Structure 1
Amino acid sequence: MAAAWAVLAAVLVAAQVASAAPVTAPAFLWAPKNYGFRSDDAKEVVHYQTISPKNLAKSVLEEGGWSTFMCSREDTEKHVDVAIVFIGSKLQSSDISKDKQVDPALADTLKLSFTESEFSMAFPYVSTSDDEKLEESLLSGFTENCKSGFGRNRITYTDTCAVSGQDLKTYHNMDAINDLVVSGRTNPSGQTDVIVFCSGGFEKLGTTESEGELLSQLVDLLKLSGARHTILYASQPSGYLLENPSGSPVARHLAERTNGTKTGLLSKCDGECLVKSTLLEGTFVGIVLLIILISGLMCMMGIDTPSKFEAPQES
């Protein structure tokens, strides 16, 4: 019996270790129109694998089409005037399935952008780390996978980005970004302006604006300018979000059509999720039955019976 309890304790410890997963955050890539892809090539694509920021950068370049303007190719036709890399800090992967969002404006903007764009991809599980800023990891990933470099493009940053270098162009307010977007639309050189919008927006904000409000302003600015654009939103959770991480499994929901309309953040489990949950349930049931079997065998082995019986005495 003691051995059976030891097996059960080992199983419980293994389950606790497996449940202590690292913090992950979602990333979304979308382009409203005129992106260079046909509408049936990539629409509301979701990659459920857990990936690193550098692998995210590789997927954005290869599957998301950013290599056509990020990597130096003189003969490439220009499909994008402005590309935005928006670094957030408010969203974890577990927040996707919650009814009450930390930043409702952010959730609404991401939901509408993902479902209403001509091209959209989602990466719900991007592993995050405090060792390196997300903007540095993404740019490093772009550099590693762009063998010819970024010679044709202008990469600029907001003043909250943790990057350094010579001739580093930074923005201190939204008006400066607006001026770049307007000038980039009429730029005949074929360059794509890549703007890295880091967490917090700007160092000197006149009013306290949430991350969702800043992203919404940026999206509206791009729409009003008429510039052909694409946006990558990626989150590196920080602060109080990391103090109380959710222990519940992340639901697999992003967008689903219902009666001809599109709604996000639904609470349904898709086919792959059902298969995995069924296998997990079967595994636990098998372990319990195995423990019961071992316990029963050990109990039977512990029963002592005499090897022979004496004949009854005659009266």
Structure 2
Amino acid sequence: MTQIAAKQQARPITSAGQAIQTAHALAERFRHGAAQRDRARDLPHAELQRYFQSGLGAITVPRDYGGIAISGAELAEIFVILSAADGSIGQVPQNHFYALEVLRINGSEAQKQRYYAEVLAGAHYGNALAEFSSPGAHQRSTALTHSAAGLRLTGDKFYCTGALFADRIPVSALSDEGKEQLVFVPRNQAGVTVVDDWSGFGQRTTGSGSVQFREVAIDAGDVVPFQTAFERPTALGPFAQIMHAAIDQGIARAAFNDMLDFLRQHARPWPDSGVERAGDDPLTLDRTGALAARLSA
């Protein structure tokens, strides 16, 4: 089995309250320069190292393995807080926590012991799930095959959010039996090439580029069953969805606050409104209130 060393040593977080307080403190730091980072596509390597050094990357680790097993609602709140400060930084850890949830649901006892210890120490897990090679987004061609030399992983992935910054890259791949597995590949393993080719027009600093795998040697201990998480009732799908919704909520909250600042400082009232400030226009107030209600719903 493989072992990795985190780029930074994490501090322990011992309660949900401490986790939320830590998220607020990081958000204050990340908010400054967020627009410039996105405009210049200045990748947030230092910021993400600070995130995982803070201990936030380990808050879903079960109590039996040294974590605090934070609730889904509290995790979502943390995503909202950080995504409101910087939508890209808020997005990156989503796949990290998704991989940890697959581990919780399907991992062996030995895998849980090893990977949870890595994460508690500060390790960052990325992802390599999506592919361009098939007509359906759910179809995979990346293969995990047995050979005379042992297990080998070969394939091409795109939209690999976080892989550029990660210590491990969990990869979805088809086994010889046609079952989808999640392979926890060390970022610096021979045969792994991470390509910084993300060209999205928003969230430009998520590092959502491509990853190539060429006959990568895989230890059987790094293979976690993936497909079976969808063949029986689990909360894996909703868990992923609530994180995405929280990211959107945070970005929307930041946009709403920016709109309020614009109304107060720059906007002019409609000539026939009879008011001196745009913020006193009854129609503007009505629309602003409607947006506030939807944002809080």
> Which of these two proteins has the greater Rg computed from alpha carbons?
1
The verdict on a shared fold, with TM-score over 0.5 as the criterion, is no
Determine which structure has the larger helix proportion and give its number: 2
Q: Shorter-chain TM-score: what band?
A: under 0.3
> Larger relative CO (CA 8 A, sep 6+): 1 or 2?
1
TM-score if structure 1 supplies the norm length? Answer: 0.27
